[in-house]
Structure 1
Amino acid sequence: MEIEEFIKKEKKAKKLYYIYAENTYLRNKFKKEFMQKFIPHSIRDFNLAKVNPGDEYLKRLYSAVQTPPMGAEKRYIISDFDDSDSLNQKQKEKLLEIFKGLSTSSTLVFLTANKLDKRRKFYQALKEIAEYQEFEPPRYRDLDKWIMERFQKYNKKIDRQSLKILENMFSNKLEILNSEIEKIITRYPDKDKISYYDLKEIISREKFIQDEEIFKFLDLIGDKKTDQALLTLKEMLNKGVYPLYLLTMLKNQIELLMQVKFYSQYTHNNKKIAAKLNKHPYPVKKAMKRSRNFSQKELEQILAEILRANRHFLTGYYPNQNTALEMIIIKSVSY
């Protein structure tokens, strides 16, 4: 269920909302939509508390939910946990006690980036007392639609090439993607359709060049064009792209080739494979073509080489990472 759809169906604020959304953009969106519908600006100064993790968190949360509303029917408390925040088992038990002790004059919105294990007692107890909802970022097959809708909101369209570039650059990191889209909209207020050349003007040129060259580099590796891949690699390294970042990108590419090659034994439909892998069909289609250049054993050997190199990079084993990366590429594509 989408956040807008969920908020729309809520006629009256309940006592407790437990909201899971790994993505910060979605948690912020829920807060914004919820506040707009249920918390008038006129009562926010005295009847809206934001209690986030930190020292004596549970004590502060307990105090906030026990404070009665002032001059209003309800008091609202919002608490937001990101992926670096967590509670131990004893603290979770205390949290449940706070949840159970909520009065009818309080509404607590608890947002978290940490997904619950639904086999645990905490979830079983929670679902009896809370409105529990999970909101996931759009997966690759839905990301096209999400991006287009963001532009349509401002009465704009985006061409296919530009859409794919945004996906390749930012994946479904919605905070960054939304920020870049807003930059584009602000830069071209009178333009009805956004093109590839418009993107080059507004998106950080360093980021644009880096990502475009990295994808070209990965294509060359996938096609086993060693000489051209090394030339592209040297150009990127001369521009200051970090070797470890390139190694990580290459690892992701090889893993995708391995996955696609495995599933292509059962189907040659790239959309079905993409659905299995939770990926966008476009990179899967390209990976299917590239994977024909390698056997599964070759891909496993390349990945092992990359993981070994990654350990050496992190431990400082290679004094010259640029040269080391070139040697890894030569060795990898020679399998």
Structure 2
Amino acid sequence: MKYFIDFLTELKKGTIAPVYLLYGPESYLREQAIERLKEYVLPPGGEQLNFEVLDGSVMSGQEIATAAASTSFIPGRRLVLVRSPQIFQANSGKNEREIKHVLDYLAAPCPGTCLVFETAQNVDRRKKIYKEMARAGRAIEFTLLKPADLTKWLAKRAREEGCAINREAATELLARCGRDMYTLYHEMQKLTCYKGPGKTIGLGTVRQLVAPRVEESIFEVVDAIGEKNCVRALSGIRNLLLQKQQPQQIIGMVARQFRLILQVQGLAGAGQSREQIIAVLKLHPFVYTKIYGQRRNFSVAQLVMALNNLAELDHYIKTGRADFYPAMETFILKICA
């Protein structure tokens, strides 16, 4: 979040770079950055004539440079936004001549234009054009926010709507939505509208109104199996089917969960630390925490049996020897016995 706060601070101080490269996976904050640039760069009434959007995936370097160098129809600065530029990627497919047009522009940017390149893709920082871009203006990587920062942001969003959200509800919302801020934004709008001003969003409200992600549904199914709760486990399988998940996908995801529990159990038993296990298995810390807790519900023999049974179940369904739901029901009853 610091990179975004620093960006806003610069704008408020009147420090506007002639060129920007906004890149990385956090799309919500990238769009917010563009909106703030429009507020600070464009003159009053210039939102139409002084703002131009270009498709960088098809525009040539010469066309981009020409557009940026054009003069304004009305007094004030222009804002030229180039979406999905290819020139900053390792294998952009753009020849050196095309890139040279942009390099020439970066060497002497038009003082009346703020040129912004925006992309969700990673960029090649080794390329000359990236280095020249960073020298001439500002290159900002929009990384996904950490859960702690997102929790603070959710609390801020709730306050802006006259509500509050407790920590348990925020944690559950992140578990169900992940770190995508667009999804979180829309879910918070729904939750605050439902609760109304002056109310607190609690864990029950989130569980009632926000549909769980597929990954979270798998956690719930395996949790229920570990607790020998067949009814809840089968309800979870039905929910996955209602989410349009295919039988083979469900089997694969459940098998992956059991496999990870077995791996975490083995690595933890061998004395590996939390950080070492996360690195070895390439797990998100949240996923690790869930799996580490689930390992207590199963012995090694139960985990091996579950994996063998799922492999057999998958084979029977693929060969038409069994229907998915009755076969999965039998599997769950057998594991819970």
Normalising to structure 2: TM-score of the pair?
A: 0.73
Name the counterpart of 1:164. 171
Q: 2:174 and 2:16 mapped to 1: Cα distance?
A: 36
Q: Residue 90 and residue 103 in structure 1: after superposition, are their counterparts in 2 closer, same or farther (change >3 A)?
A: farther
What is the correspondence of 1:144-183 to structure 2 with a 5 Å cutoff?
A: 144-183=151-190
Name the counterpart of 1:139. 146
Shift of 1:126: 3.7
Q: 2:208 and 2:39 mapped to 1: Cα distance?
A: 35
Name the counterpart of 1:8. 9
Secondary structure at the residue paired with 2:22? strand
Q: 2:205 and 2:117 mapped to 1: Cα distance?
A: 40
Secondary structure at the residue paired with 2:48? helix
Shift of 1:13: 1.9
Shift of 1:132: 1.1
8 A contact 1:260–1:288 mirrored in 2: yes
Max Rg structure: 2
Name the counterpart of 2:121. 114
Determine which of 79, 84, 96 is the counterpart of 1:81: 84
8 A contact 1:92–1:122 mirrored in 2: no
Identity within the alignment, %: 17
Secondary structure at the residue paired with 1:40? coil
Contiguous gaps of at least 5 residues in structure 1: none
Counterpart AA for 1:157: A
Q: 2:221 and 2:30 mapped to 1: Cα distance?
A: 36
Normalising to structure 1: TM-score of the pair?
A: 0.74
How many residues end up aligned between the 2 structures?
323
What do residues 179-198 of structure 1 show as CA deviations (whole Å, max 9, x unaligned)? 11012223333233112343
8 A contact 2:103–2:132 mirrored in 1: no
Q: Which aligned runs of 4 or more in structure 1 are off by greater than 6 angstroms?
A: 209-212, 271-278, 316-321
Counterpart AA for 1:287: I
Counterpart AA for 2:80: I
Counterpart AA for 1:216: E
Q: 1:45 and 1:147 mapped to 2: Cα distance?
A: 33
Counterpart AA for 1:100: D
Q: 2:267 and 2:157 mapped to 1: Cα distance?
A: 33
Name the counterpart of 1:291. 295
Say what the alpha-carbon RMSD is for the aligned residues: 4.5
Determine which of 27, 39, 44 is the counterpart of 2:30: 27
Shift of 1:237: 6.1
Q: Residue 324 and residue 134 in structure 1: after superposition, are their counterparts in 2 closer, same or farther (change >3 A)?
A: farther
Name the counterpart of 2:51. 48
8 A contact 1:51–1:57 mirrored in 2: no
Counterpart AA for 2:125: K
Shift of 1:133: 1.2
Q: 1:239 and 1:115 mapped to 2: Cα distance?
A: 35
